[in-house]
């Protein structure tokens, strides 16, 4: 039985993990890029490449760093045993708009923006950071689809990987959301089974928690 | 479980069926032509592109026409079956400067017009999207989630993508020349292609081939530059062969990626050398189609199927003189050869690489 071992959720309001703790509370109301930079500093990670990433990659990067912190076992896998599955409904819309602006308004198409106009680049950043050589898939879905995540993970864990890091990650104007979780083949018996129902339940709980704004 | 692949179709500047496309390749016709004032600074650029001023070749029209053709090549009830899924492979969809998020609308329209039971899934894995989309389809079928999956790939030329590759200094000032000593970069192309994968051989009107295995692997090296050691490509091909239980000795032909940038083609030569595949006949189709990005892996797989049906190797257009870090066996003229087992590979930004194996059934 495959398991959902751990998860975290990032929004501009806060970051929470399955341990329930409110890790970072964006009471100052920072915009996403600044909020993510603050989180990076608080986590005391030394990886200067972080600063040149777009917001999508930054959010995925931080989510995976948090999962690693709480799941020491991730370091035990061979370098090609961890698969990556990420999805959203807007591809790289936020960066696409910035790239259009660079040529249409500023008359200087920006190469550093253009390379991030593919959402799958975030998985390249994760692979480089962690020296992971395994399978990766980015899909665009009309909306969050727990069945897709469950089906794909259970399938990739059959033969191609022993763990799969999954993420639903959307950053558009006024909206930031990254739900990142770890699925494992040889999870602990006490872990949550990896099914459409359990993924759906966690996602809904997270959405409910993150809705009310802080006073 | 056997997985079958067939019912291939291609719409490109070289023709509107797989057969027309293969016919053009057999005559070594290329779709690449010069377009005046297409660049950011109004300079002329080589593209493989459709005639302008017609709606027949818009992103949505291409997909619709391509899928209509595919539908006529399989049992009539398959598209609307509960056990069928459509997977789209694209990098930028119908992107326009004034509308950067057009994919969702296209997907809904396709679902409605073909009466699909499930919302189509869009695979966006840079230039390896096509091969990864096909591999994902095969994995879903093997796991019993679906019985038949239609995989379509489409990308069109836009200012967005043209200016992007221009600012990376990646566009060749002549038609691209994959694996050639004097290659200087890519030529962008546009097109649409589709293949059908199924656990049922009987749904195909014409004998399908078999999909054997497919995997992906990352270079873990650089987001926009290929690895010097070809690590990701080496790993994915090795893994695919292991899962298939075959060795490099069984492979008759490699349909490589070959974008014609200096670093990409060198990287591929290093990976194939490490895999002991330097002697296997290999081509890139970018000299005919340009780089069609998200459509490339599907167009090239469809041509692999045509090559297998016709037992014909197609010349790697643009290749004149050896000039990669490692020597590889680039096909310099069309020739007849019995093709039993074929390897298709792709590589893309984000260090992603993918491979798949096809066999005659």
Mean per-residue pLDDT, B68-91: 98
Contact state of B219 with A127 under an 8 Å Cβ cutoff: yes
Average pLDDT over residues B333-340: 98
Q: Which domain holds residue B316?
A: 209-360
pLDDT digits (tens, 9 = 90+) for B190-240: 999 999 999 999 999 999 999 999 999 999 999 999 999 999 999 999 999
Confidence (pLDDT) at A215: 34
Regarding whether B271 and B245 lie in a shared domain, the answer is: yes
CA distance A56 to A65: 14
Number of domains in chain B: 2
Strand runs labelled E in chain A = 3-11, 14-17, 22-25, 82-88, 136-140, 163-172, 175-184, 192-193
Check: complex ipTM more than 0.95: yes
Query: B268-302: per-residue pLDDT in tens?
Result: 999 999 999 999 999 999 999 999 999 999 999 99
Same domain, B26 and B133: yes
d(CA B23, CA B29): 9
> Domains plus CATH for chain A?
3-210 (3.40.47.10)
Count of all residues that appear for chain A in the document? 215
Q: Are residues B96 and B140 in the same domain?
A: yes
- Domain match, B330 and B346 both: yes
- B121-123 and A136-140 beta bridge pairing: antiparallel
Residues B244 and B160 in one domain: no
Tell which of B143, B170, B203 closes a domain.
B203
Of B85, B167, B233, B239, which to mutate for an interface test with A (greatest number of A Cβ within 10 Å)?
A: B167
Q: What is the reported pLDDT for A212? A: 46
Mean pLDDT calculated for residue range A120-125: 98
Domain C-terminal end among B185, B203, B221: B203
Residues B39-60, mean pLDDT to the nearest whole number:
91
Asked if residue B223 and residue B148 are part of one domain, the reply reads: no
- pLDDT tens digits, B141-183: 999 999 999 999 999 999 999 999 999 999 999 999 999 999 9
**DSSP for residue B12:** B
Radius of gyration (C-alpha) of chain B in whole angstroms = 19
pLDDT for residue B261 is more than 50: yes
Residues B184 and B76 both lie in one domain: yes
Both B167 and B222 in one domain: the answer is no
Tokens of B63: 């997909």
What is the CATH classification number for the domain harbouring B355? Answer: 3.40.47.10
A134 chain-B contacts, CB cut-off 8 A: 217-218
For residues B177 and B234, membership in a common domain is answered with no
For residue A176, give every residue at least 6 positions away whose Cβ sits within 8 Å of its Cβ, in sequence order, or none. A10, A11, A12, A32, A35, A55, A59, A170
Report CB contact under 8 Å: B235, A159. no
Point out the catalytic residue in the list B66, B176, B291, B304.
B291
Catalytic site includes residue B222: no
Q: Do B157 and B301 sit in the same domain of this protein? A: no
pLDDT of residue A187: 63
Q: Is the dihedral of CA B112, B113, B116, B120 positive or negative?
A: negative
Q: Which residues contact B275 (CB under 8 A, 6 or more apart)?
A: B234, B237, B238, B248
Q: What is the mean pLDDT of chain B?
A: 96
Whole-number percent of chain B with pLDDT over 90:
95
d(CA B188, CA B166): 10
B143 and B231 housed in the same domain: no
10 Å CB burial of residue B112 (0-12, 13-18, 19+) is: exposed
Query: Cα angle vertex A91, ends B120, A204, to 5°?
Result: 75
The residue from B158, B177, B203 where one domain ends is B203
Count of C-beta atoms within a 10 Å radius of residue B129: 33
CB B255 within 8 A of CB B344: yes
Q: What is the pLDDT of residue A214?
A: 40
Structure tokens at A150: 């469950």
Q: In which order are the strands placed within the sheet that holds B45-48?
A: B32-35, B45-48, B188-189
One domain, residues B47 and B189 = yes
CA distances in angstroms from A114 to B146, B158, B216, listed in the order given: 36, 14, 24
Alpha carbon distance A191, A3 (integer Å): 6
Does any CB of chain A come closer than 8 Å to the CB of residue B145? yes
């Amino acid at each position: 039985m495959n398991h959902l071992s751990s998860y975290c959720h990032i929004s501009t309001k806060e970051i929470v993990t399955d341990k329930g703790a409110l890790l970072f509370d964006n009471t100052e109301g920072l915009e996403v890029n600044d909020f993510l930079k603050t989180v990076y500093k608080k986590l005391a990670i030394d990886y200067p490449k972080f600063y040149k990433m777009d917001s999508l990659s930054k959010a995925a990067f931080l989510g995976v760093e948090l999962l690693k912190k709480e799941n020491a076992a991730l370091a035990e896998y061979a370098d090609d045993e961890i698969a990556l599955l990420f999805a959203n409904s807007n591809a790289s819309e936020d960066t696409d708009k910035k790239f259009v602006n660079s040529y249409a308004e500023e008359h200087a198409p920006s190469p550093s923006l253009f390379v991030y106009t593919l959402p799958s680049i975030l998985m390249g950043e994760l692979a480089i950071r962690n020296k992971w050589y395994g399978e990766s898939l980015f899909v665009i879905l009309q909306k969050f689809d727990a069945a897709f995540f469950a089906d794909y993970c259970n399938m990739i864990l059959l033969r191609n990987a022993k763990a799969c890091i999954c993420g639903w990650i959307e950053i558009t104007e006024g909206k930031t959301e990254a739900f990142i979780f770890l699925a494992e083949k040889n999870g602990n018996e006490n872990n949550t089974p990896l099914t459409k129902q359990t993924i759906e339940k966690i996602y809904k709980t997270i959405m409910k928690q993150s809705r009310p704004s802080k006073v | 479980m056997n997985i079958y692949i067939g019912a291939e179709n291609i719409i490109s500047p070289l023709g509107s069926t797989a057969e027309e496309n293969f016919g053009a390749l057999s005559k070594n016709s290329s779709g690449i032509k010069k377009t005046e004032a297409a660049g950011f600074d109004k300079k002329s650029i080589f593209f493989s592109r459709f005639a302008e001023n017609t709606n027949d070749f818009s992103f949505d029209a291409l997909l619709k026409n391509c899928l209509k053709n595919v539908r006529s090549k399989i049992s009539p009830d398959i598209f609307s079956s509960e056990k069928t899924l459509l997977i789209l492979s694209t990098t930028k969809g119908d992107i326009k400067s004034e509308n950067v998020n057009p994919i969702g609308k296209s997907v809904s329209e396709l679902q409605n017009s073909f009466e699909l039971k499930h919302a189509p899934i869009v695979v966006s894995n840079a230039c390896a999207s096509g091969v990864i989309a096909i591999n994902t389809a095969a994995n879903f079928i093997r796991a019993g989630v679906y019985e038949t999956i239609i995989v379509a790939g489409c990308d069109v030329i836009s200012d967005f993508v043209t200016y992007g590759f221009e600012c990376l200094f990646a566009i060749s000032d002549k038609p691209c020349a994959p694996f050639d000593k004097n290659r200087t970069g890519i030529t962008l192309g546009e097109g649409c292609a589709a293949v059908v994968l199924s656990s049922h051989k009987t749904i195909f009107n014409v004998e399908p081939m078999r999909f054997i295995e497919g995997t992906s692997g990352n270079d873990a090296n650089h987001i926009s530059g290929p690895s010097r050691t070809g690590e990701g490509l080496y790993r994915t091909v090795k893994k695919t062969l292991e899962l298939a239980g075959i060795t490099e000795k069984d492979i008759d032909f490699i349909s490589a990626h070959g974008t014609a940038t200096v670093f990409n083609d060198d990287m591929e030569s290093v990976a194939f050398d490490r895999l002991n595949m330097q002697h296997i006949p290999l081509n890139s189709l970018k000299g005919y189609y340009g780089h069609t990005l998200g459509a490339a892996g599907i167009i090239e797989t469809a041509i692999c199927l045509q090559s297998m049906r016709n037992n014909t190797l197609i010349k790697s257009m643009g290749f004149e003189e050896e000039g990669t870090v490692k020597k590889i066996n680039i096909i310099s003229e069309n020739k007849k050869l019995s093709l039993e087992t074929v390897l298709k590979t792709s590589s893309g930004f984000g260090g992603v690489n993918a491979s798949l194996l096809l066999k005659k059934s």
